Amino acid sequence: MTSIAAPSLLPSTEPAYPLLDSIVTPGDIRHLTSARLNQLAVEIRALLIEKVTVSGGHLGPNLGVVELTLAVHRVFGVESGDTVLFDTGHQSYVHKLLTGRRDGFDTLRQAGGLSGYPARSESRHDWVENSHASTALSYADGMAKAHQLSGDTGRVVAVIGDGALTGGLAWEALNNLGAAPERPVVVVLNDNGRSYAPTVGAMATHLAELRAAGRGASGRNLFTELGFSYLGPVDGHDTAALEEALSRACDLRRPVVVHALTVKGRGHPPAEADEADRMHAVGPAAPARAPGATRPSWTGEFSRALLALGSDRADLVAITAAMGGPTGLGPFAARFPERYFDVGIAEQHAVTSAAGLAMGGLHPVVAIYATFLNRAFDQVLLDVALHRLPVTFVLDRAGITGPDGPSHHGMWDPTLLSAVPGMRLAVPRDAAQLRELLGEAAAWREGPTALRFPRATAGGDIPAVYRDGPVDVLSVSGTRDVLLVSHGPLAGACLEAAATLKAQGIGVTVCDPRWVLPISPELLRLAAGHRLVVTVEDGLRTNGMGSVLAGVLRDSAITTPSYALGLPTAFLRHASRDQLLADTGLTPHRIVHAVLRARAGRALPHHARTSVPDGTRP
């Protein structure tokens, strides 16, 4: 397929997307001729480029699965009782276009608009909302078992990328699927040689061998050894060839792998040539900024801090789970390639491998999105902490992440980590503190440490008035009415709230614990010297850091009442970070309101209106 023209180059006398605009359900594409299908593919790519480069979102993955998605929807359908599962939800934009959501692309990833991932509330064609990779095969195994027990003849199809096959959960599912020839599941392997980064490990080598051998070649094949029939490799941009393979897979009535070869970013030269995966996901179009107006991101600040630390510490090693670039490890990898390890989409392995590195005398830094740490909690608890190993976890995208929605908000890690004995957790308020705290974490030898920061700009440094042990006092007043305990980047909001309260005659001290776990004696002394304590955190309000502090205050017989401000225990919809912080009460105005309510002895409001529905299918 040749590269497409930009939408503005399509004939101006016709609707920009005449064929695509006529598609309301997948059934509308099943009788299209080959020429019309090719036209539809061109229109889909043009629309994706037009809309996603404006709204932001996952561009490269969706450009690569246009023909694949067309073929899947021409062979399978919900009206036939079929279940189509997309492993990594960010490759579902084409699926959304074919299932009646064309108009929603003007609101993609915006508050109240179309989700950037499958959403059960949007369509009966969406089954799985979790956008974490390597899960679809396990869903498929369970769905196939349910069909067998109920006598349902619908077919189960799982579309999974080669990068997702580096995840251990995918192999647990393959082990079960291949051993059940009576349960027909079609595994569509979308092989483009990458996830976010190039696929790594022995599986990548084996897929390369299958690609080189070509269709119909005999020889070593891991899928057939596991009990699957294998069809391919098939050109993933040839709809007719894909349909033929998928139809053959259905006729076999047993577990089948259809191996489709695709090109990430297909049809858009900048995305096809994007070896650094900058067009895997693109940000929304933004107005031009004045020179020097752009502040560095938290990720960028961490990247520079780690590189400097690695230059001084030969024992420092870095680990990523297929996200080296997005977590800021790229410069470290370039400078110290022998001390950098990409384990693929395998967070559990990343953590336990880090434990092994620590046992060998090194200090591993595991850089990972906060939401993905959930997948490796057992390994953090029993493989690292139980052995009191010095492993540092750097949690990017912590707290509210914004338009990626409920599966990507990094809300859960403080609550999870608070249950880990010996865990030390730091939340830097600015870039200077990030550098200092990362150095302290790397120097700690008695057990695990963690740092968390949001997907945002780092802002300016906030100096302390004075430091008491690990606690920085950021603002003081003549009277000690209220102690505002700020966690990390919310320090600015707390200082603004304190200024407003002081103007009303209320004495406020603002402090930053720096290390929020464990609770320090210095923080307890500060709390004991005030009439009210209010904690502010970008994590769960229930069982979060505020709850931990309240419990320690009770255990220490300190009677100062303590109130926690934070995120509700709910799955928050996609919206901008600023909007969600406002909705959940974490802005200066809302902090002031909460403090006044607490001083009056009234219950704090429970901000949860941004939670998603109960998950029932429409």
pLDDT in tens, 115-144: 888 888 888 988 888 668 899 999 999 999
C-alpha to C-alpha distance for 447 and 444, rounded to whole angstroms: 7
CA nearest to 133, candidates 61, 235, 74: 61
50 versus 3: the higher-pLDDT residue is: 50
Taking residues 20-29, report their average pLDDT: 93
For position 294, what pLDDT does the model report?
A: 66
For position 275, what pLDDT does the model report?
A: 57
616 versus 331: the higher-pLDDT residue is: 331
Range scoring the smallest mean pLDDT among 48-52, 196-200, 290-294, 390-394 = 290-294
Local confidence band at 289 (pLDDT 50, 70, 90 cut-offs):
low
For position 26, what pLDDT does the model report?
A: 92
Mean pLDDT of the chain: 89
Residue 397 backbone class (left: φ over 0; alpha: ψ -120 to 50; beta: rest): left
Taking residues 237-255, report their average pLDDT: 96
Taking residues 589-603, report their average pLDDT: 90
Superfamily of domain 7-269: Thiamin diphosphate (ThDP)-binding fold, Pyr/PP domains (3.40.50.970)
Taking residues 58-72, report their average pLDDT: 92
For position 6, what pLDDT does the model report?
A: 40
Check the annotation: does 133 bind a ligand: yes
Check the annotation: does 589 bind a ligand: no
Which entry of 45, 183, 264, 339 is annotated as an active-site residue?
A: 264
Give me the phi and psi of 243, to 5 degrees please: -60, -40
C-alpha to C-alpha distance for 65 and 85, rounded to whole angstroms: 14
Domain 470-599 has CATH 3.40.50.920: yes
Is the pLDDT reported for residue 501 higher than 80?
yes
For position 88, what pLDDT does the model report?
A: 80
295 versus 399: the higher-pLDDT residue is: 399
Local confidence band at 601 (pLDDT 50, 70, 90 cut-offs):
confident
Check the annotation: does 116 bind a ligand: no
Taking residues 239-244, report their average pLDDT: 96
For position 611, what pLDDT does the model report?
A: 37
114 versus 476: the higher-pLDDT residue is: 476
DSSP 546: H
Check the annotation: does 164 bind a ligand: yes
C-alpha to C-alpha distance for 190 and 507, rounded to whole angstroms: 60
Check the annotation: does 593 bind a ligand: no
Q: How is the chain split into domains, by residue range?
A: 7-269, 298-452, 470-599
Range scoring the smallest mean pLDDT among 1-15, 173-187, 264-278 = 1-15
Range scoring the smallest mean pLDDT among 131-135, 236-240, 420-424 = 131-135
**Matching CATH topology for 7-269 and 470-599?**
yes
12 versus 616: the higher-pLDDT residue is: 12
Please give the distance of CA 394 from its chain centroid, rounded to a whole number. Answer: 14
Taking residues 402-419, report their average pLDDT: 90
For position 234, what pLDDT does the model report?
A: 96
CA nearest to 472, candidates 459, 454, 491, 458: 491
Is 375 catalytic? The answer is yes
Give me the phi and psi of 296, to 5 degrees please: -70, 155
At 489, list the tokens. 């980047």
CA nearest to 499, candidates 376, 400, 591, 571: 591
Local confidence band at 34 (pLDDT 50, 70, 90 cut-offs):
very high
C-alpha to C-alpha distance for 524 and 546, rounded to whole angstroms: 13
Taking residues 459-463, report their average pLDDT: 94
Which entry of 122, 129, 243, 347 is annotated as an active-site residue?
A: 347
Distances (CA, A) of 457 to 26, 294, 342: 41, 9, 26
Please give the share of the chain, as a percent, with pLDDT higher than 90: 70
pLDDT tens-place string over residues 153-204:
899 999 999 989 999 999 999 999 999 999 999 999 999 887 666 788 898 9
CA nearest to 410, candidates 350, 365, 450: 450
Local confidence band at 14 (pLDDT 50, 70, 90 cut-offs):
low
Which entry of 375, 452, 573, 590 is annotated as an active-site residue?
A: 375
Taking residues 559-587, report their average pLDDT: 92
Range scoring the smallest mean pLDDT among 40-44, 281-285, 286-290 = 286-290
For position 11, what pLDDT does the model report?
A: 43
For position 80, what pLDDT does the model report?
A: 84
Pick the CATH number of 298-452 from 3.40.50.1580, 3.40.640.10, 3.40.50.970, 3.30.230.70: 3.40.50.970
Range scoring the smallest mean pLDDT among 10-24, 460-474, 497-511, 600-614 = 600-614
C-alpha to C-alpha distance for 406 and 144, rounded to whole angstroms: 27
Please give the share of the chain, as a percent, with pLDDT higher than 70: 89
Check the annotation: does 81 bind a ligand: no
Residue 475 and residue 485 in contact, taking contact as beta carbons nearer than 8 Å: no
H helices within 12-153, ranges in order? 34-55, 60-63, 66-75, 93-98, 136-150
